């Protein structure tokens, strides 16, 4: 089901210092803006969020059927161990551990609970020790459980989606802009390295002001996408920038700042359409 597009372009260095994300995104300045952000429309509108999930899935899984990815799991050889689920939770970066811990809090004794000691042990590397041979099959079994699906949704929102939307609304950018933030956090995370989301945004702010600071939205988003492309090109695994060039930039060039369908785009040469 998953084409070579998954390998290694998509998840390598998506998240560095993942344990800092909760502190830097959730406990930081964004916390104060989230209630304000939720009060106005944006990417968190259910219809727009559905579009966002399909856009990310087209790049990460070569499919618009993002809900089919709850059961997805494989080691794509990027040094992060197993990559799995709707947002590419990784056994080596901590977010898979957080997810299984949440699932186990909500449903003790679930089929993945027995792997928690191993997930703690392999966090930070690519080892499968204590996970093989049963973990992939048990992950797919857990993915049939609505409680596990909800846990994936909730961790996606907590770590990636909500912070991206909140920052976008704070910056005064619309649905497309909020999506560019979300896609950047999905790939790069928000650790302390130069290619993290916050540093991509900082690089863009050095070139243009967002609407909240009196700038032009299109000009600012072009600056952000320029900074994103720069960040992707810092690593060979991200050197294919089509998820920006032939997706996000296409929408921006059409001034479709609200991500209104119909949407047509390409990722890695494959064409997609949302009517």
Known catalytic residues?
A: 60, 78
DSSP-assigned letters across all residues of 30-71:
HHHHHHHHHTS-STTSHHHHHHHHHHHHHHHTSSS-GGGGGG
Buried-state track 219-257, b at ≥16 Cβ within 10 A, e below 16: ebbbbbbbbbeebbeeeebbebbbbbebbbbebbeeebb
CB-CB neighbours of 108 under 10 Å: 8
φ, ψ of residue 267 in degrees (nearest 5): -135, 125
Rounded Cα gap, residues 242 and 228, in angstroms: 12
- H-run or E-run covering 264: strand 263-267
Give one word for 55, left, alpha or beta, with left for phi > 0 and alpha for psi -120 to 50: alpha
Q: Would you state the structure tokens that stand for residue 112, as one six-digit string?
A: 């993945």
**CA atoms lying within 13 Å on the CB side of residue 239:** 3
Between helix 197-205 and helix 175-188 the angle, nearest 10°, is: 130
User: 139 with 112: CB under 8 angstroms?
Assistant: yes
Residue 174 corresponds to which tokens in the numbers above? 């619309």
């Amino acid at each position: 089901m998953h084409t070579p597009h998954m390998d290694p372009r998509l998840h390598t260095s998506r998240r560095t210092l993942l344990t800092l994300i909760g502190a830097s995104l959730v406990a930081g300045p964004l916390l104060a803006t989230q209630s304000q952000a939720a009060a106005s429309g944006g990417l968190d509108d259910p219809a727009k969020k559905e579009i966002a999930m399909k856009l990310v899935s087209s790049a990460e899984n070569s499919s618009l059927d993002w809900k089919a990815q709850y059961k997805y799991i494989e080691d794509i050889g990027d040094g992060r161990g197993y990559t799995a689920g709707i947002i590419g939770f990784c056994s080596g970066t901590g977010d898979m551990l957080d997810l299984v811990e949440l699932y186990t809090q909500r449903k003790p004794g679930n089929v993945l609970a027995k792997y928690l000691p191993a997930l703690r042990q392999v966090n930070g590397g690519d080892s499968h020790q204590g996970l093989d041979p049963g973990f992939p099959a048990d992950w797919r079994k857990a993915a049939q459980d609505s409680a596990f699906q909800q846990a994936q949704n909730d961790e996606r929102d907590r770590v990636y989606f909500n912070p991206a939307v909140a920052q976008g609304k704070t910056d005064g950018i619309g649905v497309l802009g909020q999506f560019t933030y979300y896609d950047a956090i999905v790939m790069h995370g928000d650790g302390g390295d130069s290619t993290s989301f916050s540093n991509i945004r900082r690089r863009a702010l050095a070139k243009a002001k967002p609407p909240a600071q009196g700038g032009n939205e299109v000009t600012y988003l072009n600056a952000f996408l320029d900074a994103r492309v720069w960040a992707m090109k810092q690593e060979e695994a991200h050197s294919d920038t089509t998820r920006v060039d032939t997706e996000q930039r296409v929408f921006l060039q059409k001034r479709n700042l609200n991500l209104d369908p119909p949407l047509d785009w390409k990722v890695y040469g494959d064409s997609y359409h949302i009517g």
